[in-house]
Structure 1
Amino acid sequence: MSTNHALPFDPIARAQHHWTEHGWDAAADGMAAVTSIMRAHQIMISKVEDALKPHGLTFSRYEVLMLLSFTKRGEMPMSKASARLQVHPTSITNAVDRLERAGLVHRVAHPDDRRTTLIRITEDGREKATVATKQLNSEVFGNIGLPTQKARQLVEILTEYRYLAGDFTEPPSER
């Protein structure tokens, strides 16, 4: 996101102050945390989408390509992709439809289960994922705007939050 739209003050800190003024002290820190995460998400997704746009990808389609590229055979059942990416099956279907139209994946019948459809990455899909990853690593992931130690602390905090919220069952300390 361009800094041209930067405000001269922190609107979340101001909202937190208003929360306290209105007697909602017990919720003020939580409101600021939630709002900060939502705003950080907007900033990060904007950077990611800007990096992926030249490749004709959205982040959801990129995630599907990367998930498939990390598998041994370059394929997996659509239902498993939905579960791994923690998105609704309709979202996977939409992403696969677009990736398939672009020639980056194709659907194939499961050899042992007629009810299951596999998604298989194509060579063009692998190439697109590789090139897009290089750009994301260079423009976004390699420098998210925080020093490395702070980024690691952020990941630790968010991992603990996700664990406590029931996002996964393996305790973070055992990972």
Structure 2
Amino acid sequence: MPTEEIPSERLDNLAREAVVTVFDSMVSETVSWKSRACLIENGSSDMLGSLPIADGLYAIVVSWVGDVNGKVMLVLPKAAAEAFALKLFDLPSLDWLEGDSEEALQDTLGELGNMLAGLVKGGLTKWYPRLALTTPKVLKNRRMKVDTATMSFRRQYLFEGFGSELLIDFCCE
């Protein structure tokens, strides 16, 4: 079944449900949906520019392969990523962690990526029953490269949480 046949309302609902569920279940943080952009279908512009990323960002990327190939990427401004980790660990500062706090932050974000991708995969299996997930990649101050020429769709969803805007990006070939 071609990717275009997934109802757009289902992708919108899947994005909202996955992000809201993952943040609520992991750290009891309320995250609200703000808007979406269809980068291929409607020629919308990339929503990354609306995020407060002057101090840096983290992008968590998980790919899926099988009946369809694609990626999901969650982009968090540095402050939001740190706020997530602090809430998860119930700590006042990442300095309280033993060892390398940057490594702990990236491991924590990898777990966030695992949970988010699992929810997305679960939602996609109605259309694509044979999907496998890759290990999450946590990128600091950069995000995944997307060749839109090979994509059948690319949608971005903007959320608000941790006092900041967050971005989820879905891409499928």
Same fold (TM over 0.5): no
Structure with the higher fraction of residues in strand conformation: 2
Output the TM-score relative to the length of structure 1: 0.30
Q: Which has the higher contact order (CA 8 A, sep 6+)?
A: 2
Structure with the higher fraction of residues in helix conformation: 1
Output the TM-score relative to the length of structure 2: 0.30
Which one has the largest radius of gyration?
A: 1
